Amino acid sequence: MCPAFNELDIMEEISEMDDNELHDCSFGVIKMSKDAVVQAVNNAEIELTGLSRSAFIDKNFFTQVAPCTNNYMVAEKYRKFDELDETIPYVFTYMMKPTPVHLRMLKSRAYDSQYLLVDRKDM
């Protein structure tokens, strides 16, 4: 059972889910190593982007998958902070169309992976 996008302790819950269970989430989930290499991506994110899973896995998320996040608003925060749980409005470019989303950036010393959750505003 996937927690809600806004759930308070989502990091704890989502980190206990295996890669298949991430598909239960209606919002996009990108699981990365601490150096931003994508370890898993769920079906919701695949459908949103129109990209295949291979376009994500083992790639650096900020430079090779989503350069739109490679700025101080997103990538820099992951680099700068060891503890991170922040939600910001953002615009992704799914299929080259500007798409308003909410991004929830999650990182904790307690877990080996970090997460980026993507919730489309119009969904």
Partner 1 sequence: MLDSFVKSKENEHEKLLRFLYLAPVALLEIDASGNIHLMNGYASGYLMPLSKTGELTNLFDLLSETDIDLSELVAGFASETGTLLKDRRLRCALPTSNPVYFSLTVERLSTERYLVAMSDITVQVRQEERMSIMIEQEALQRGRAEIASEVLHDIGNAITGVGTGVNRLLGETLWPEEDGLVRLERMFKESYAPLCSTLGVATTDALLRYMTELRATLTARRAELNKNLQCTAKTVAHISEVLAVQRKYVGDQAEQPYVVMPLVQLVEDAISMQNAALEKRRISIRRQYNDESASVAGTRSGLVRVLVNLLRNAFESFDRTEMAEEPCILLETSCNTDRTRVLLAMSDNGGGFTVDPAELFELGVSKKKNSNGIGLFACQKIIESHNGRLWLTSDGAGKGAVAHIELPIQEEQGT
Footprint on this chain of partner 1 (rule: CB under 8 A): 50-52, 55, 64, 66-73, 88-93, 95-98, 100
Give the three-state DSSP class for 57: coil
Give me the least distance between CB of 70 and partner 1, in Å please. Answer: 6
Nearest CB to partner 1, comparing residues 17 and 36: 36
**Residue 56 burial (CB count, 10 A):** 22
Nearest CB to partner 1, comparing residues 37 and 51: 51
Place of tokens 């989303």: 101
Nearest CB to partner 1, comparing residues 23 and 77: 77
In the chain the first and final C-alpha atoms are separated, in Å, by: 19
